[in-house]
């Protein structure tokens, strides 16, 4: 059974850097798209970024260049850094394993993705 265990600082001041790490057990980070998703209090889910085991990444353009993600294959972990945080970054942050459906040759690409399992979530509060 695949499990994700995440940790990191839960209280930050404005302009500091959010750092979270997620350890994968029951699977290897040498596959899949390891992802970060957040949820502001009382609001919906927002995709932040994903990182592939090779190190290639993709992130939500709304977060501009503040996001950095990485994979540590030796520790079977992946991490998120979000710089220059503000109160708007207050949220529960989740790590998750991202998967893609098979290549659809008629469409020339995969046609769906999903996230499973998810970490337990980390509430990060940004306050002065």
Partner 1 sequence: SSELTQDPAVSVALGQTVRITCQGDSLRSYYASWYQQKPGQAPVIVIFGKNNRPSGIPDRFSGSSSGNTASLIITGAQAEDEADYYCNSRDIKNDHVLFGGGTKLTVL
Q: What is the DSSP string of 7-64?
A: EE-SEE-TT--EEEEEEEESS-SSSSEEEEEEE-TTS--EEEEEEETTS-EEE-GGGT
List interacting residues with partner 1 (CB under 8 A). Answer: 35, 37, 44-47, 50, 58, 60-61, 94, 98-99, 101, 107, 110-116, 118-121
Name which of 62 and 86 has its Cβ closer to partner 1.
Answer: 62
Q: Which is nearer to partner 1, 16 or 53 (CB)?
A: 53
Peptide bond connecting 117 to the previous residue in cis, omega within 30 degrees of 0: yes
Question: Looking at beta carbons only, is 72 or 104 nearer to partner 1?
Answer: 104
Report, in Å, the least distance between residue 95 CB and partner 1.
Answer: 10
């Amino acid at each position: 059974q695949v499990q994700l265990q995440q940790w990191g600082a839960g209280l930050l001041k404005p302009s500091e850097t959010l750092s979270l790490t997620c350890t994968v057990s029951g699977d290897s980070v040498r596959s899949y798209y390891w992802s970060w998703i957040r949820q502001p209090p009382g609001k919906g889910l927002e995709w932040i970024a994903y990182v592939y085991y090779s190190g290639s990444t993709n992130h939500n353009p709304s977060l501009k260049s503040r996001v950095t993600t990485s994979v540590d294959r030796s520790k079977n972990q992946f991490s998120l850094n979000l710089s220059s945080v503000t109160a708007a970054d207050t949220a529960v942050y989740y790590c998750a394993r991202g998967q893609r459906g098979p290549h659809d040759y008629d469409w020339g690409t995969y046609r769906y993705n999903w996230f499973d399992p998810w970490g337990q979530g980390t509430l990060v509060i940004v306050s002065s």
